[in-house]
Homo-oligomer: A and B are copies of this chain.
Amino acid sequence: MQTRKGQSIEDASMQMIEDEIGSHPYNEKEWPIVRRIIHSTADFDFADKNRIIFHKDAIQSGMNALRNGCSIIVDVNGVIGGLNKQNPKDFGNKIICNISSPEIMELAKKEGKTRSQVSMRAAIADIEGGIVAIGNAPTALLEVIQMVREGIVKPALIIGIPVGFICAAESKEALSNLEEVPFITNIGRKGGSSSASAVINAIFKLIRADHRLE
């Protein structure tokens, strides 16, 4: 929920992005998603040097799953922080982030892994048919890709936009080569939890626009 003042600032921001972006390669469903990432980062590199890559089925699959109340599994609490909470409330989506659970910490220490990595395999039941959104940890994204390749899980959509210096770009390249599952990712090191939340918020906007058209 936004106030009129908040909405007018958002509208003016989106208009500034439209005015400054020039030509871009995105179609009419992709562009609102990319535009919302630029809105949340003030970084036009997400349409260019660090551009967003969409699997051909990504948006439709994500819209269908979210509309049907699928779970949203995230790697860090920052992704939850950036979500418009009215959407999961209205559509009945459970939001899961296990990184802070003591069992995950224990297991990660034992296995010599990161907490976010271990938290993915622990969420397997929710990931099946759900939306995975990785905004921070390449290790978590690589784990989900590995789980898909093992054939043990098939999410409706993987949003993989981790940020960082170690394996971030590489994990996203691996995701962009995944054929089994729809994905939204980007090129290079940049990304982050705000960008991952922006993608989810934007897909919910597309769902609501569809509803208005029906």
Name A residues whose Cβ lies closer than 8 Å to a Cβ of B: 1-6, 9, 12-13, 16-17, 39-43, 76-82, 85, 100, 105, 108-109, 112-115, 117, 139, 163-168, 188-194, 197
Q: Which of B12, B108, B194 contacts A194 (CB 8 A)?
A: B194
Residues of the B chain whose Cβ atoms lie less than 8 Å from the Cβ of A12: 165-166
Q: Is the CB of B166 within 8 A of A108?
A: no
Docked complex Cα distance between A3 and B105 (Å): 7
Which DSSP category, helix, strand, loop or mixed, fits chain A's interface?
A: helix
What residues on B are CB-neighbors of A3 within 8 Å?
105, 108-109, 112-115
B77 A164 Cβ-Cβ under 8 A: no
Number of copies of this chain in the oligomer? 2
A78 touches B82 (CB 8 A): yes
Query: Which residues from B are CB-within-8-Å of A117?
Result: 5
Smallest CB separation, A186 vs chain B (Å): 11
Q: Does B13 lie within 8 Å of A115, measured CB to CB?
A: no
